[in-house]
Amino acid sequence: MKACRLLLVTVFVMGVVGMAWSQGRQRPAGVFGTIVKIDGKNIVVKTGRGDTAKEVTVATDEKTEFVVDAEKGKLDDLKADMRVMITPETGTATKVVATSKGLNGQVVKVDGKNVIIKTGRGDTAKEVTVATDENTKVFIGDKAGKLEDLKADMRVTVLPETGTATKILAMAARAASRPAE
């Protein structure tokens, strides 16, 4: 009986800790999706997938900040099929962060002027060699970086999808486990 109570308490505590941990990693409130079109000063965005997909129109104004492919931009830089994050979730946009379609993957290693990335998952995963040159710009999060700043397991978007990379947009790799406290 004592062991049963201990098991129940352990399961309850693990559940509460798990919920708290997952809430700490939730995506910030905003509009996430793919640009359908620009209509004057409005951005039409497709959000969701399948049966839950819908189009949302978001207004912009002269105060709206634009970040396009990790660099300061403007409304005219936005194009259909770009991935976009717009804040706040309702009302006029204060910030629009857009990324062009590119080659997405995870850094395996940097080999000289080439970056080896893994694309796809499971049976469709493959390694792709991305060529860079002295004109390739690297961004880690929202900061300018260097090719040597790219580390294994970083998530990257390479622009353009083929040929020599003009930009590599990277996010730091997530820790495999949380450190003991």
Q: pLDDT tens across 74-123, in order?
A: 999 999 999 999 999 999 999 999 999 999 999 999 999 999 999 998 88
What is the rounded CA–CA span in Å between residue 12 and residue 129?
Answer: 47
What is the strand order of the sheet 143-145 is part of? 126-131, 114-119, 103-111, 155-159, 167-171, 137-140, 143-145
Token duo for residue 138: 């690297």
Q: Tell me what the mean pLDDT of segment 58-75 comes to.
A: 96
Return mean pLDDT, the chain. Answer: 84
Q: Is 133 exposed, middle or buried (0-12, 13-18, 19+ CB in 10 A)?
A: exposed
Neighbours of 120 (CB within 10 A): 12
- Ordered by where they begin, the domains of the chain are 31-99 (2.40.50), 103-171 (2.40.50)
Decide if 56 contacts 12 (C-beta within 8 A).
no
